[in-house]
C-alpha cells in the first residue's frame, strides 16, 4: 500500500480560505457572514458557519432547520455531535440556496466526518417530509455513487499495480502510483460525463495502466506483464525538464497490443472494448493534455495541477486522497468486510466450493462475459430461420425490420455518446450490436414457440407490428445495458421533472431506453413476460431486473399523462357501466401466465377462439368491442402488486387492527378501478398511503402521515420523492399530505364516509397471489373466507361543500402548522367545483406552501393544541353529533309550529 502521508499535489487545510468564489450573489448581504447579525444563535454554530464560508441566508436557513427539526431529535438515534449536525444543516441549506463555496472534501475536513459518515448523518436527519429536499437528496446520491465507484476502482488499481511492478524503491513506487492514479482521475473527469459507470471507467483505467507499464524498467516487471511487453517497448522511465517539454514533437500514442491484451485477460475484460476506449477516448485525452508524443513518464506536478482545477470546478471529493488513506475517504469497516462471495472449486480435488471475494468490478466483468458467451452463436443480423418466417408472411417485413433496426441503432449510439462522454460512439455501437443479437435470438425463439403452439407459420400481423419490434429491441437492449451498468433503476423516474434531477449519472438506467426510443412504458410492459420465457439463458438477476422494470411501469410509468393506457381505460368505460378493466370478481381466481406477445400486441380486444396469430381484426361497426386483453392482464397484475404493497406497509403499522386491511384494500381497489384518473402522473404508493390514512381516520384509529412515511421509507425500492413531491395540479407539486387533503380526499370523501355508516360497502375480494413467472416459489398470502361483491360506486351527485362528516377526514395538524393556513385550504375545498377549478388554475388560489411539516410531538390540532385523555378526533365527532342532534330537534320544532300554529 502507498505511504500514509505525502506532500505533493494534495490540497491542504490552508486552502480552505479564499480559494473559491461563493456560489451566491456577490453583495454585502450574501457574500460575507456578519456575526453580529446572528447573536440569537449559539456562538459555536456561528463560528462553524464562518469556517464553512456560509453566507447570511445560509446561516439563517441552517439554524431554522436545526431548531425546528433536529434539535429535538432522539439523541439515541443520532450518534453525532452538535458540530457534526450543524455542519449537515449548513450543507443542506447551502445546497438548497446554491451557495456552497467549499468543495465537499474541504467541507468534510472542517466538520470532521468521512463521506460515508456524512451521508449517513444527513439521512438520519431526514425525519420530516421537508427536512431534506429532492435537490439535496439527488446531490447526495450522486456523491455516494461516485464515491462507491471510485473506491472500487482504487482497490482494483492497488491490486493490479502490486501484480505489475516489483519496484524496490518505496518512494519511486509511490511516485509511479501517484502519477498513474492522478492521470486516470483526470482522464475520467475530463472525458467521461457519467463518472459512476463502473465498466467504462475501469476500461479507461486499464488504458492508463498500459500507458505507464510499458514505460517501467523491464527488469522490475512481474510475470505475466514482463513477457507481455513487446520489443518495441519505450525506453526506461526518465524525467524531462520543463524547459524541453514543449519542444518534443507530438507523435501518435502507440498501443502495446500484447500488454493491453494481458491486462484485459487478467481482469476478465473485453479486449475489443478496451481497444476501442484506448483508440478513441484515451488517445483524445492524451492529445488534449499534450501528452500524445511524450515518451517518458509525465511530471506529477502537471497532472496534479490539472486535476486540482477539475476537482475545484466539480466541488466534490478529492479522489487523490485515496493514495494517503485519508480519513474523509475511509469506508466503513463493516462495508469493507462485507464482500460478495462466489463459489470456486477446491484445487485439492475435493468437490467443495471455496468462497472467494467478488468485488464490484469482478461481478460486473463476470456478468458481461457470461452475456457474451450466451450470444456467441447469435448474429446481429436475421438468421436463415428468421428469414424463412419473414418470407412466409403475407406482407414481407424484412425491409421494414432492417430499416427500423438501423434507425434505432443510430438513435441509440448518438444518445449513448451524449450520456456517457465524448468519443464513446464506438462503445455505444458495440453495445447496440449485442442488443441486436439478443433481439433476433429472442424473436426466433418466440416464433418457434408460437408455431409449435398453434401450428401456424404465417405471422404477418405480428411481424409487421412496429410497436412489437421496438419493444422487443428495447427489452434486449435493456438486458445489455443492465448487465453493463448494473441492475439499477432511475430513482424518481415516475415524475421527476424538478430542477434537482439534472445529473446524468443514472441516465443509462431504466427507463432511459424508453425515453430515447420514445416508447410508451405500457407498450414495453407487454413484451417482458414473453421475453423472459423465450430466453432460457437469462440469468436470475436479470429476470429480477426485468420484473422490477415491470413493477416500475405498473406503479408509475404506465400512468404518465400521454400513456396509451388511459385510452384503453376510456374505451373500457365507454362500453358501459358493466365493463371494467378487470372485474373484481376475478381477483381470487388463479392468474395464468399463458399470454404471448401476439396476445398483447396484435389487438386491443380480448381474443376469441381464433388463434392469436390470426387475430387482430377491428370490431365491426355497430358491434360491441371485447375487453382489451393487454388491459385485463395489466390490471390483474396491478391489483396483485398493489395488494402486496399494501400488505407490507400494513404489517409495519396496523397489526393490532387486522380488520382494517380488507377495508383499506377495498377503497384502494375501488380507486384504481373507478377513479383511475388519480393515477395520472402519480405513483401507486401515493394512493396506498392515502387510502390507509383515510380509513384510519374514519375508523378513529390514530395513525398519522408521519408514521406512515417513516414506515414507508424502510420498505425496499422506495424513493423519498414519492411522498415529498406529489402532483397537486398541473405543474404544481407538494407533499403527500397536501395531495391527500386537496385531491384524494376531495375525490373520494363520499366513498370514504360510507365505511363509517352502519351499512358499509361490500368488501373487494383479496387477490390470489400466483406463482410468479420470474421466480420458482410462490408468495403465500392469507386468503379470506368471506363472500365478496364488487364495491359500490360513489354517487355522481357527491356533495361539494364540506360537511361535518367529510371535514373530519382532513389531515389536521400534520402539515399546515397554523390555523390560518388550514383555514385557507378549508375555503378552497368548501367552494363549488367550478370555482375550485378556477382557483386551482390560477386566480386567487394560495401558493403551494414551501414548508409543510408533519405533526409535532404531543400536538393533534392545526392550532397546536395537545390531546389529553380522550382522543381529540373522538371529541370532535361527539361535538359534531351533538350539533347535528340539536339541528334536527330545532327543525322538528319548526315543522311542528308550521303544522299547528298558535291561535
> Are 565 and 559 in contact, with CB atoms under 8 Å apart?
yes
Strand 732-734 to 726-729 pairing: antiparallel
Q: Residues near 727 by Cβ (< 8 Å), separated by ≥ 6? A: 495, 680, 681, 682, 733, 739
The C-alpha cell at 878 is 361527539
CA pair distance 150, 307, nearest whole angstrom: 15
What pLDDT digit, counting tens, does each position of 654-708 carry? Answer: 999 999 999 999 999 999 999 999 999 999 999 999 999 999 999 999 999 989 9
Match 404518465 to its residue by C-alpha cell: 560
- Domains in the chain with CATH codes: 35-132 (1.10.472.10), 142-232+253-329 (1.10.472.140), 377-495+503-555 (1.10.472.10), 629-755 (1.10.472.10)
CA pair distance 449, 444, nearest whole angstrom: 9
Other CB atoms within 10 Å distance of the CB of residue 364: 20
The least confident of 263-272, 482-491, 536-545, 825-834 is 825-834
DSSP string, 229-272: S-TTPPPPP----HHHHTTSPP-PPPP-HHHHHHHHHHTT--HH
What pLDDT digit, counting tens, does each position of 176-202 carry? Answer: 899 999 999 999 999 988 867 899 999
> Are 226 and 218 in contact, with CB atoms under 8 Å apart?
yes
The mean pLDDT of 138-153, rounded to a whole number, is: 92
Beta bridge partners of residue 343, listed in sequence order: 355
In the chain, how many H helices and how many E strands? 37, 4
The mean pLDDT of 748-753, rounded to a whole number, is: 94
CA pair distance 370, 268, nearest whole angstrom: 11
CA pair distance 365, 369, nearest whole angstrom: 6
What pLDDT digit, counting tens, does each position of 841-862 carry? Answer: 444 443 443 333 333 333 322 2
> Are 425 and 417 in contact, with CB atoms under 8 Å apart?
yes
Banded model confidence at residue 622, pLDDT cuts 50, 70, 90 = very low
Please report the pLDDT score of residue 556 as a whole number: 97
The least confident of 139-143, 546-550, 624-628 is 624-628
> Are 196 and 488 in contact, with CB atoms under 8 Å apart?
no
Banded model confidence at residue 31, pLDDT cuts 50, 70, 90 = low
Percentage of residues of the chain with pLDDT beyond 70: 68
Q: What is the mean pLDDT of the chain?
A: 77
The mean pLDDT of 145-152, rounded to a whole number, is: 93
What pLDDT digit, counting tens, does each position of 301-344 carry? Answer: 999 999 999 999 999 999 999 999 999 998 865 444 444 444 44
Banded model confidence at residue 534, pLDDT cuts 50, 70, 90 = very high
What pLDDT digit, counting tens, does each position of 159-174 carry? Answer: 999 999 887 888 888 8
What pLDDT digit, counting tens, does each position of 859-903 carry? Answer: 322 223 343 344 444 444 445 555 555 665 565 555 544 444 444
What pLDDT digit, counting tens, does each position of 594-604 carry? Answer: 667 777 876 45
Please report the pLDDT score of residue 758 as a whole number: 83
The mean pLDDT of 762-775, rounded to a whole number, is: 74
Burial class (CB in 10 A: 0-12, 13-18, 19+), 98: exposed
Tally the residues of the chain.
903
CA pair distance 872, 173, nearest whole angstrom: 72
Q: Sign of the CA dihedral 856, 860, 864, 868? A: negative
Q: Is the pLDDT of residue 626 over 80?
A: no
Q: Which helix (H) or strand (E) holds 477?
A: helix 466-485
Better pLDDT: 209 or 243: 209
CA pair distance 635, 606, nearest whole angstrom: 14
> Are 73 and 34 in contact, with CB atoms under 8 Å apart?
no
CA pair distance 232, 256, nearest whole angstrom: 8
CA pair distance 746, 215, nearest whole angstrom: 73
Helix/strand/coil (H/E/C) assignment for every residue in 127-147 = CCCCCCCHHHHHHHHHHHHHH
Q: Is the pLDDT of residue 777 over 70?
A: no
Instruction: Give the relative orientation of helices 466-485 and 540-555 as an angle to the nearest 10 degrees.
Output: 120
Please choose, from the candidates 747, 774, 493, 777, the residue with its C-alpha nearest in 3D space to the C-alpha of residue 637.
Answer: 774
Amino acid at each position: 500500500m502507498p505511504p500514509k502521508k505525502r506532500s505533493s499535489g494534495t490540497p491542504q487545510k490552508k486552502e480552505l480560505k479564499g480559494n473559491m468564489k461563493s456560489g451566491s450573489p456577490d453583495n454585502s448581504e450574501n457574500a460575507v457572514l456578519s456575526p453580529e447579525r446572528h447573536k440569537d444563535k449559539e456562538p459555536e454554530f456561528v463560528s462553524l458557519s464562518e469556517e464553512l464560508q456560509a453566507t447570511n441566508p445560509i446561516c439563517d436557513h441552517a439554524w431554522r432547520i436545526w431548531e425546528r427539526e433536529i434539535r429535538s431529535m432522539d439523541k439515541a438515534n443520532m450518534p453525532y455531535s452538535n458540530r457534526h449536525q450543524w455542519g449537515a444543516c449548513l450543507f443542506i441549506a447551502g445546497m438548497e440556496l446554491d451557495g456552497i463555496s467549499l468543495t465537499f472534501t474541504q467541507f468534510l475536513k472542517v466538520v470532521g466526518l468521512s463521506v460515508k459518515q456524512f451521508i449517513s448523518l444527513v439521512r438520519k436527519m431526514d425525519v420530516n417530509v421537508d427536512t431534506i429536499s429532492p435537490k439535496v437528496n439527488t446531490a447526495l446520491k450522486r456523491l455516494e455513487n461516485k464515491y462507491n465507484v471510485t473506491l472500487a476502482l482504487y482497490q482494483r488499481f492497488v491490486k493490479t499495480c502490486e501484480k505489475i511492478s516489483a519496484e524496490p524503491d518505496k518512494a519511486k513506487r509511490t511516485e509511479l502510483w501517484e502519477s498513474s492514479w492522478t492521470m486516470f482521475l483526470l482522464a475520467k473527469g475530463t472525458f467521461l460525463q457519467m463518472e459512476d459507470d463502473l465498466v467504462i471507467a475501469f476500461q479507461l483505467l486499464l488504458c492508463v495502466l498500459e500507458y505507464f507499464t510499458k514505460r517501467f524498467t523491464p527488469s522490475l516487471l512481474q510475470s505475466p506483464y514482463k513477457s507481455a511487453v513487446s520489443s518495441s517497448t519505450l525506453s526506461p522511465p526518465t524525467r524531462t525538464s520543463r524547459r524541453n517539454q514543449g519542444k518534443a514533437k507530438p507523435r501518435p500514442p502507440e498501443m502495446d497490443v500484447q500488454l493491453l491484451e494481458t491486462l484485459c485477460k487478467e481482469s476478465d475484460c473485453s479486449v475489443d472494448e478496451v481497444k476501442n476506449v484506448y483508440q478513441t477516448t484515451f488517445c483524445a485525452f492524451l492529445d488534449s493534455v499534450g501528452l500524445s508524443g511524450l515518451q517518458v513518464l509525465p511530471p506529477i506536478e502537471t497532472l496534479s495541477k490539472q486535476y486540482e482545477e477539475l476537482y475545484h470546478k466539480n466541488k466534490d471529493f478529492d479522489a487523490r486522497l485515496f493514495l494517503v488513506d485519508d480519513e474523509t475517504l475511509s469506508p466503513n469497516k463493516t462495508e469493507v468486510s462485507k464482500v460478495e462471495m462466489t463459489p470456486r472449486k477446491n484445487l485439492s480435488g475435493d468437490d467443495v466450493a471455496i468462497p472467494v471475494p467478488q468485488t464490484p468490478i469482478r461481478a460486473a466483468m463476470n456478468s458481461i462475459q457470461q452475456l457474451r458467451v450466451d450470444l456467441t452463436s447469435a448474429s446481429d443480423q436475421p438468421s436463415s430461420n428468421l428469414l424463412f418466417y419473414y418470407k412466409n408472411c403475407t406482407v414481407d417485413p424484412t425491409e421494414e425490420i432492417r430499416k427500423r433496426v438501423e434507425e434505432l441503432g443510430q438513435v441509440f449510439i448518438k444518445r449513448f455518446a451524449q450520456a456517457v462522454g465524448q468519443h464513446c460512439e464506438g462503445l455505444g455501437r458495440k453495445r447496440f450490436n449485442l442488443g441486436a443479437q439478443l433481439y433476433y435470438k429472442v424473436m426466433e425463439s418466440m416464433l418457434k414457440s408460437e408455431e409449435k403452439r398453434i401450428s401456424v407459420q404465417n405471422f404477418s400481423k405480428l411481424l409487421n407490428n412496429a410497436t412489437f419490434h421496438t419493444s422487443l429491441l428495447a427489452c434486449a437492449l435493456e438486458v445489455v445495458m443492465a448487465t453493463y451498468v448494473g441492475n439499477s433503476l432511475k430513482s424518481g423516474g415516475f415524475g421527476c421533472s424538478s430542477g434537482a434531477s439534472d445529473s446524468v449519472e443514472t441516465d443509462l438506467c431504466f427507463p432511459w431506453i424508453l425515453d430515447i426510443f420514445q416508447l410508451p412504458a405500457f407498450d414495453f410492459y407487454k413484451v417482458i413476460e414473453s421475453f423472459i420465457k423465450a430466453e432460457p439463458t437469462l440469468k436470475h438477476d436479470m429476470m429480477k431486473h426485468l420484473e422490477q422494470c415491470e413493477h416500475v411501469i405498473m406503479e408509475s410509468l404506465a400512468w404518465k399523462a400521454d400513456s396509451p393506457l388511459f385510452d384503453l381505460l376510456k374505451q373500457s368505460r365507454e362500453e358501459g357501466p358493466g365493463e371494467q378493466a378487470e372485474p373484481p370478481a376475478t381477483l381470487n381466481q388463479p392468474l395464468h401466465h399463458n399470454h404471448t406477445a401476439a396476445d398483447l400486441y396484435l389487438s386491443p380486444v380480448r381474443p376469441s377462439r381464433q388463434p392469436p396469430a390470426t387475430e387482430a381484426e377491428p370490431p365491426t361497426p355497430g358491434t360491441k368491442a371485447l375487453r382489451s386483453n393487454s388491459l385485463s392482464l395489466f390490471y390483474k397484475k396491478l391489483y396483485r402488486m398493489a395488494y402486496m404493497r399494501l400488505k407490507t406497509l400494513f404489517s409495519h403499522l396496523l397489526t393490532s387492527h387486522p380488520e382494517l386491511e380488507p377495508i383499506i384494500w377495498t377503497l384502494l381497489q375501488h380507486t384504481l378501478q373507478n377513479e383511475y384518473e388519480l393515477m395520472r402522473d402519480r405513483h401507486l404508493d401515493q394512493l396506498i398511503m392515502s387510502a390507509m390514512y383515510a380509513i384510519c381516520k374514519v375508523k378513529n384509529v390514530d395513525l398519522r402521515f408521519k408514521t406512515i412515511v417513516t414506515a414507508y421509507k424502510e420498505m425496499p425500492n422506495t424513493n423519498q420523492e414519492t411522498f415529498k413531491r406529489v402532483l397537486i395540479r398541473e405543474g404544481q407539486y407538494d407533499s403527500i399530505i397536501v395531495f391527500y387533503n386537496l385531491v384524494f380526499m376531495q375525490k373520494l370523501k363520499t366513498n370514504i364516509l360510507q365505511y363509517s355508516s352502519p351499512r358499509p360497502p361490500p368488501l373487494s375480494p383479496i387477490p390470489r397471489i400466483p406463482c410468479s413467472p420470474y421466480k420458482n416459489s410462490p408468495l403465500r398470502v392469507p386468503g379470506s373466507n368471506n363472500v365478496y361483491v364488487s364495491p359500490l360506486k360513489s354517487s355522481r351527485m357527491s356533495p361539494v361543500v364540506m360537511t361535518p362528516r367529510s371535514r373530519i377526514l382532513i389531515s389536521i395538524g400534520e402539515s399546515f402548522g397554523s390555523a390560518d393556513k388550514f383555514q385557507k385550504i378549508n375555503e378552497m375545498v368548501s367552494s363549488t367545483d367550478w370555482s375550485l377549478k378556477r382557483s386551482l388554475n390560477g386566480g386567487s388560489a394560495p401558493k403551494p406552501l414551501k414548508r409543510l411539516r408533519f405533526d409535532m410531538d404531543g400536538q393533534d390540532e392545526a392550532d397546536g393544541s395537545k390531546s389529553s385523555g380522550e382522543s381529540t378526533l373522538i371529541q370532535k365527532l361527539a361535538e359534531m353529533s351533538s350539533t347535528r342532534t340539536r339541528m334536527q330537534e330545532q327543525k322538528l320544532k319548526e315543522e311542528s309550529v308550521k303544522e299547528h300554529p298558535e291561535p
